[in-house]
Amino acid sequence: MMYSSAIYPQQEASLEEAAVHKLDRICQKLQLKEADHLLEIGTGWGGMAIHAAKHYGCKVTTTTISKEQYEFAKERVEAEGLQDKITLLLEDYRDLEGQYDKLVSIEMIEAVGHEYYDSYFSKCSELLKPHGVMVIQAITIADQRYDYARSSVDFIQRYIFLSGCLPSNQVIAHKIASKTDMQIVGLEDITEHYAKTLADWRTRFHEARHHVLDMGFDDVFCRMWDFYLAYCEGGFKERAISTGQFVFAKPEHRLTIE
């Protein structure tokens, strides 16, 4: 279970195949090795940590501030028998100490907020070793619309993510340059994949609607959630919003061709 954009290797690929492909792309961009210690900021439901430990053999420390996600991920890690590889933390990333070889954060920056971008990127840089690499997957808004979006409230901010804030590519680049010693060494636009991900989510939501109602949610919620998924799909299709995977490298990192 993942609540972030998948990447479809082929148009006919299933949502599950696309989700795994996305995780592999991230691991490859991180150039993960068995000897690495990977830090994940924002555990989600544990998919990234489990995939990295299981398929790349590295050690993973992952942190979240969600008790529900922590407990769910803990059960998944134990079911996979990966307790010796994965350390789960119920902590704010700003309280973390030490340094790691690699760092990943998947669609977490949207919850950081404009006023905390400085401390977010500064802390991420601080947590990386001098040769470290960081990959973030982020939903972004066009540079030209960033200031307007910051000062306005849309449907999603009013009803779905009350404190959500989308960065722009320019904002991310500025914070990396001014608050860290890292450089941007890669950026892949995956916007069209998010539109398809949302379409697949919406189809599955319709198929499972009776289960949603059985859980105690009403028709009003179902209509709102359906609109939210369609609203976001349209936003990505029209490029009102975008999604990208950013790769950042510390000064002593040396890229290798594999």
> How far is C-alpha 19 from the geometric centre of its chain's CA atoms?
12
Of the residues 27, 124, 165, 232, which is catalytic? 232
Q: 49 and 43 in contact (C-beta within 8 Å)?
A: yes
Is 232 tagged catalytic? yes
Q: What is the DSSP letter of 114?
A: G
CA distance 212 to 205: 8
Name 140's bridge partners. 242
Sheet holding 59-63, edge to edge: 86-89, 59-63, 37-41, 100-106, 128-141, 241-249, 183-189
By DSSP bridging, strand 241-249 and strand 183-189 are antiparallel
Which residues are tagged catalytic?
232
